[in-house]
Chains A and B, each alone.
Chain A
């Protein structure tokens, strides 16, 4: 199989990462970026869950997650991700639980691009596969599908009078999560929900490479400060309210990898009682292993 894959890789010019014109859109932590490229990430997240209305205690949650995406056809990628969860009930209300969350698979297709104006629009679908995780964690027994629209817009096309705003970029996702089972055996309801989020970023790399070299010393010149908003709005059955987090932080870009760190600030008490933190390492596997990654598996060519 490995040989077959190698043979199918074409020797033409290739681009992976997330480029649109002059703009490099970095992979963001809480909201998925719009690019169907080869990616490998490892994440670590720690936060508190509020006590549930069903009597479940407040818990401290630590997640170690990983995601791998592979471009199969030009501009079309498949992904798989998994998360190992540790749940520690607070106040000595039972033993800690740990295990894998349900496996998630994803598809994404770059539908429309406008390089001079740094625009991109993509379509995709996520599937959280029911009963593939640890039962001790109480993972969902049903599968949830989330058809999603992804977008990205860089502001490098602003007039020169606003040149210091050119490093700004906005990416976002809007999706609807649809459980394949509307009610559980215990009578609780599974709600359809709007999954939406966006990331506003200011790229010091873009400033230095395309606008004005202001001699920023390293590592400051390799940093992208950003704030992400990740929201969930149920809109039927359960009567629940919007939950979500605001996540200010930064990404530090290196040739082969990216390190990101963000605070996780709940928007309301339904989301959680305390501020958490997330830390992620993203490997640019197209740069690390350029002979293997950074190419579509089939029909590879210049993107």
Chain B
């Protein structure tokens, strides 16, 4: 077997073993959108992640412009789609809100992040 073939084989085996992994999760997209403006209050803040999330230690918190937590503290991972985590919020008045998320993957690697959105009348 030539050196080039051996190298391709080694890389192929490496990637094949690796695709079984489920580690760091990053925000894929969110509703309300990152940095976006929504007309009227959302009832739920949803985040889709790039990896499956473990429910036990993962959470989403929503804060108003004064830094007070306004979510209902019921963050949960969707049972049918473990890439999706959500938290419900009461009717939010117009203003800017900050979302703080903490995602723990099935292999216990965790990532955190923040973004803001605006509620307009």
Contact = CB atoms under 8 A, between A and B. Distances in A.
B35 A290 contact: no
A17 B36 contact: no
Interface in A242-283: 255-256, 283
Q: Tell me the interface secondary structure of chain A in the complex.
A: loop
B114 A14 contact: no
B43 interface: no
Contacts of A13: 57, 104, 108-110
Q: How large is the interface on B (under 10, 10 to 19, 20 to 34, 35 or more residues)?
A: 20 to 34
B26 interface: yes
Contact of B110 (A15, A209, A213): A15
Interface string B23-46: 110110110011110000000000
Given A12-B108, A290-B109, A210 B21 contact: no
Interface in A134-185: 163
Contacts of A289: 17-18, 21
A19 interface: yes
A294 B35 contact: no
Contact of B23 (A12, A163, A287): A287
Interface residues of A, number: 30
Given A13-B57, A209-B27, A287 B35 contact: no
A91 interface: no
B109 A16 contact: yes
Nearest to A209: B27
Given A13-B104, A212-B36, A255-B51, A290 B111 contact: no
A40 to B, nearest CB: 9
B118 to A, nearest CB: 11
B107 interface: yes
Given A163-B35, A209-B113, A256-B18, A290 B107 contact: yes
Given A255-B50, A287-B24, 19 more contacts: A13-B108, A13-B109, A15-B111, A16-B109, A17-B24, A19-B111, A209-B26, A210-B114, A211-B35, A213-B34, A256-B19, A283-B14, A286-B109, A287-B18, A287-B23, A287-B109, A288-B23, A289-B21, A290-B108
15 contacts: A11-B108, A13-B108, A21-B112, A22-B112, A22-B114, A208-B34, A209-B113, A209-B115, A255-B26, A283-B14, A286-B23, A287-B21, A287-B23, A287-B24, A290-B107
